[in-house]
Chains A and B, each alone.
Chain A
Amino acid sequence: MSLLHYFEALEASPIGVFVKDQAATFAIIEAVHLMALALLGAAVLSADLRLLNVLLRDVPSNTVTDQAHRWFKVALIVLLITGFFMLAGVATKCYHNPFYWAKMIALGTGIVFVFAIRAPLLRKDHAQIHPVTLKLMALASMAIWFVVASSGRWIGFSG
C-alpha cells in the first residue's frame, strides 16, 4: 500500500468521519490546537529567553528550564493528539500539500532536537556548559518552533 492509501484510509476511518461530519468539530479541535500552541510558546520562550538572559535573569536557569520542560511535554501531547484529529479530517488534502510535509519535517526535527539534544544537555548544571552553547541552542529551539508553527498555519492557506 502506498503512503497515499494510508492517508485515504485515515480520512475514511471513523475518526476522519467524526472530524468532518460537523464543521464545528474541526473548528473546536483547531481552537484547542491553538491553545496548546500558546502553552508550547510559554514553555519554549520562557526557557529559551531565560537562556538568552532576556527574561527572569534573577531566577536560576536550571529551575526555569526544568519546569518549562514539563509543560512542554503537556503542550506537545495535546498538539499531537489534536493535530492527528485535524489531519484525519483532511488527510488527502494534506498529502498533496507541501506545507504539511514541511511542517512534519520541522516537527520531527523539533522533537528529536528537544528529546535527544536539548533536554539531556539542560538537565546538567548550566554553569558547567559554555554560555555560547546555551545561547545557540536557545536560538535554534525558537527557530525550529517558529517554522513548525508558521508552516502549520500555511497548510490552511494553500489547501
Chain B
Amino acid sequence: MLNIWLLHFAETIGATWFSIALHESFYAYAWIESIHVITLMISLGMLIVIDLRMLGLWLTNVPASTIAQRLDRPMLIGFSIMVVSGVLLYVGIPIRTTQSLWFRIKVILLVAAFINAWLFRRHMQGSAGTWDVAAVPPRRTRIAAALSLTLWAMVVMCGRFIAYDWYDCGQDNTAFIDWAAGCVAEGEAQ
C-alpha cells in the first residue's frame, strides 16, 4: 500500500517538466551530482573534525565545546547543500530512486544519524565545566562519536551504491529484496 503510494508520488514528480528537464540535461544533472559529492568535504568534513575531537584524536588541546560550537554552522551549511542537491537528484530520477534498496537503507541510516546527532547535542550541552577540556572525553561521548562516524560511512556507501543496478526492480531478485526495495508488481499499481 505504502509502496503503491510512493510509486504514484514518484510518477507524479517524474511527469513534471522540471524533472524531465533535469533528467535530460547532462550538464545540470552531472553538476548537481558533483556538488552533492564535493560538498561531502564541507558537511562530513566538519562532522569528522567534531567527531575526531570527541574521540580524543584531533585538536585535543582545544575544549570540545569550542570545536563543536564553532564548526556547527559550517557543518549545517554543508548539510543544507547536501539536502538541496540530494532532493534535486531524487527529482531528476524519482521512480528508480524510490524503488532503490540502497536509497531506502540510506534514508533509514540518515534518520538514525540524525537522532544520534540530536542526542549528542543534548549531551554536549551538559559538558560545560565537566569533561569539556579533557583531551579524551568520557566513554559515552566516544561511543556516540564512533557511532556517528560509522553511520555516516554507511550513508556514503549506500549513496554510492544507488548508482548501481544490482537489485533494481524487474531483475531476478528474491521476494525479500523486491519487498525491501518496494517493487510494485505490474497491474498492482492501478
A binding-site residues for B, Cβ under 8 Å: 23-24, 27-28, 30-31, 34-35, 37-42, 44-46, 49, 54-59, 63-64, 67, 71, 145-146, 149-150, 153-154, 157
Q: Which of B13-47 contact A (CB under 8 A)?
A: 26, 30, 33-34, 37-38, 40-42, 44-46
Q: Is the CB of A55 within 8 A of B71?
A: yes
What is the CA–CA distance of A40 and B67 in the complex, to the nearest angstrom? 18
Q: Which residues of chain A are near B115, meaning CB under 8 Å?
A: none
Interface contacts (Cβ under 8 Å), in number, total 98
Q: Is the CB of B153 within 8 A of A35?
A: yes
| Nearest CB on B from A74, distance (A) | 10
Q: Is the CB of A64 within 8 A of B59?
A: yes
Q: Is the CB of A59 within 8 A of B58?
A: no
B120 is an interface residue with CB less than 8 A from chain A: no
B80 is an interface residue with CB less than 8 A from chain A: no
B70 is an interface residue with CB less than 8 A from chain A: yes
Q: Which residues of chain A are near B52, meaning CB under 8 Å?
A: 42, 71
B binding-site residues for A, Cβ under 8 Å: 26, 30, 33-34, 37-38, 40-42, 44-46, 48-49, 52, 58-59, 61-62, 66-67, 70-71, 74, 153, 156-157, 160-161, 164, 166
Q: Which residues of chain A are near B71, meaning CB under 8 Å?
A: 46, 55-56
Q: Is the CB of A46 within 8 A of B45?
A: yes
What is the CA–CA distance of A46 and B66 in the complex, to the nearest angstrom? 14
Question: A-side binding surface: helix, strand, loop or mixed?
Answer: helix
| Nearest CB on B from A62, distance (A) | 11
Q: Is the CB of B41 within 8 A of A59?
A: no
Q: Which residues of chain A are near B49, meaning CB under 8 Å?
A: 42, 46
What is the CA–CA distance of A67 and B56 in the complex, to the nearest angstrom? 12
Q: Is the CB of A41 within 8 A of B34?
A: no
Report the nearest B residue to A26, measured CB to CB: B164
- Which of A34, A42, A146, A154 is the most central at the interface, judged by chain B CB atoms within 10 Å of its CB? A42
Q: Which residues of chain A are near B61, meaning CB under 8 Å?
A: 63
What is the CA–CA distance of A71 and B58 in the complex, to the nearest angstrom? 8
Q: Is the CB of B66 within 8 A of A44?
A: no
Q: Is the CB of A27 within 8 A of B62?
A: no
Report the nearest A residue to B61, measured CB to CB: A63
Q: Which residues of chain B are near A37, meaning CB under 8 Å?
A: 37, 40-41
What is the CA–CA distance of A56 and B164 in the complex, to the nearest angstrom? 40
What is the CA–CA distance of A39 and B40 in the complex, to the nearest angstrom? 9
Partner of A146, one of B38, B40, B44, B67: B38
Closest 7 pairs (CB-CB, A-B): A41-B41, A41-B45, A38-B44, A42-B45, A31-B157, A42-B48, A31-B160
| Nearest CB on A from B142, distance (A) | 18
Partner of B48, one of A39, A54, A55, A59: A39
Report the nearest A residue to B154, measured CB to CB: A31
Report the nearest A residue to B50, measured CB to CB: A42
Given contacts A31-B157, A46-B71, A153-B33, 19 further A-B contacts (CB under 8 A): A24-B166, A31-B153, A31-B156, A35-B153, A38-B40, A41-B42, A41-B48, A42-B41, A42-B48, A45-B46, A54-B74, A56-B71, A58-B70, A59-B59, A59-B70, A64-B59, A67-B59, A145-B41, A153-B37
